[in-house]
Structure formats: C-alpha cells, structure tokens
Amino acid sequence: MKVLVAVKRVIDYNVKVRVKPDNTGVDLTNVKMAMNPFCEIAVEEAVRLKEKGVATEIVVVSIGPKAAQEQIRTALALGADRGIHVETDEEIQSLAAAKLLKAVVDKEQPSLVILGKQSIDNDNNQTGQMLAALAGYPQGTFASEVSVDGDKVKVTREIDGGLMTVSLNLPAIVTTDLRLNEPRYASLPNIMKAKKKPLESTTPADLGVDVTPRLTTLKVEAPAQRQAGIKVADVAELVDKLKNEAKVI
C-alpha cells in the first residue's frame, strides 16, 4: 500500500523565537530551519510500516518555498521513496494546505496519509483533520500507536483523559503525537542516496487551488515576561511564604 507523508519546514525547535520590532511577525532571517518534529515522527512511522512490509511506497510532500526541498531530502534520506514539492512563497494557512494536500491525494491515491498533529510555528493543529474532511476520509488524530489490519487501521489516540482506540476504514488520515515512535537519524550513505531519489515540483496554480489567506494577522507581540522571584533557604521558609505572603495554601 502507498503511504503519503506531509512534512513542514519550520523554525528549528532549539532556536529562541524573537518577535520583530515592528510587530508584524517572528524574525526568521538567518534562523536555523528544520523539519517540524511531529512531521519527523510521521516520516518515521511510514518508514517502519515499510520495514514491516505493510507499506510498499512512501511519497513525501511539502508545501513551501524552494528551501522546503531540504526537508523533503531529509525525509528521503530517512527512507521515503520519492518527493513532491508544492512550491510557493505565499503564506499558506491550514485550510489552503489541506486543499493542496487534497489535490495531491487525488492524484496519488494513497491508502494512508500521515501528518504531524501540529507544527511548532503556528501551533494550529488543523491540517490533518481538514484534509480528512475534504477527502471524506476518517481520521485518527494524536496517534500513539498505529496498526494496519487488512482494509482498516487501528489507531490509539492520546486524549485528555487517557487513551482511546478507534478503527478506521482505509484510506485514512493519521496525525502523530509525541510518543508514536522515536525518529531515527539519517545515515551519511542514505543522505547521499537521497540526492538521487525523484523529486517532482508543482505549484498551487498547477493543482488548481486558491490559497488566499482567510485570516489576517494584525500584530504579533512578545508575551508578558514573568520576573524571577526569590530563592528560599529551606522547606520551612517555602511553606511560610506560601501561607503568609502568597496566601495560596
């Protein structure tokens, strides 16, 4: 079966985020970029499905500027077979991303699409669910376990109260949570091999998708900073402060 994985280029999770002085957004100039951590988990899950003999082909897709091809190459080095780059320099919001991915799904007809549950830049947690809606597929969000069985996939989901398991008809959409797997690192020989794997390029216009943003960001500000308080000498002083100063116990 064919598995489609969507990956996003985002600010590296180790980078300290700085808001631009003119409050129009976050400063991304000369900042290290990387594959969104939840997308790495999605790639890893697809590769494991292939290693188990469940998946036969892994197609990786990314939407974004030319540089997003770096993240596609990373996924190819981790074990994906070929890449699709939807090239655009426009701001792509979740609904537009879902529409672009729907167009790719129509063309590729995968049995399973795996995405990260959210990207660590906008923290929206929407694209997978929106893609599922547009494609008319069932969805297994926040997955911590995925097992394909015939024409169904069983997904264990991390929910507020604990865990919930659902069975979905294939084709289906899965979004990854943190504990689905621990992504591997790409080996040097695989990084070299990935350079030769096929990567096709397309655009939102080619796919016939209107990506006009629906949300306008009016301003972006730095959050109110918390000031460090005091150090207490011992437990007795701590309890005293909580009782008599903060009055919270």
Partner 1 sequence: MSVLVIADHDNASIKGSTLNVVAAAKQMGGDIAVLVAGQGCSAAADAAAKIEGVAKVLLADNAAYAHHLAENLAALVVELAKDYTHVVSAAGTTGKDFLPRVAALLDVAQVSEIIAVQSADTFVRPIYAGNAIATVQSSDAIKVVTVRSTGFDPVAAEGGSAAVEAVGAAHDVGISSFVGEEIAKSDRPELTAASIVISGGRGMQNGDNFKMLEGIADKLGAAVGASRAAVDAGFVPNDMQVGQTGKIVAPQLYIAVGISGAIQHLAGMSDSKVIVAINKDEEAPIFQVADYGLVADLFVALPELEGKL
Please, which of residues 118-137 interact with partner 1 by CB under 8 A? 118, 120-134, 136-137
Q: Which of 237, 34, 51 is nearest to 120 (CA)?
A: 34
Each residue 18-57 as x (binds partner 1 by CB under 8 A) or -, in order, gives: -x------x-------------------------------
Q: Which of 83, 75, 86, 90 is nearest to 39 (CA)?
A: 75
Q: Which two tokens stand for residue 234?
A: 């011992």
Q: Which two tokens stand for residue 41?
A: 């988990």
Please, which of residues 137-166 interact with partner 1 by CB under 8 A? 137-139, 141-142, 144, 154, 157-166
Q: From the list 68, 168, 180, 207, which residue makes contact with partner 1 (rule: CB under 8 A)?
A: 168
Each residue 195-234 as x (binds partner 1 by CB under 8 A) or -, in order, gives: -------------------xxxxxxxxxx--x-xxxxx-x
CA 8 – CA 74 distance, rounded (Å): 11
Size of residue set near partner 1 by CB under 8 A: 76
188 binds partner 1 (CB under 8 A): no
190 binds partner 1 (CB under 8 A): no
Least distance in angstroms from the C-beta of 55 to partner 1: 21
**Number of neighbours of residue 83 by Cβ within 10 angstroms:** 25
| Structural contact between residues 143 and 179, judged by C-beta atoms closer than 8 angstroms | no
β-bridge mates for residue 112, sequence order: 3, 172
Q: From the list 106, 151, 178, 200, which residue makes contact with partner 1 (rule: CB under 8 A)?
A: 178
| Structural contact between residues 11 and 207, judged by C-beta atoms closer than 8 angstroms | no
192 binds partner 1 (CB under 8 A): no
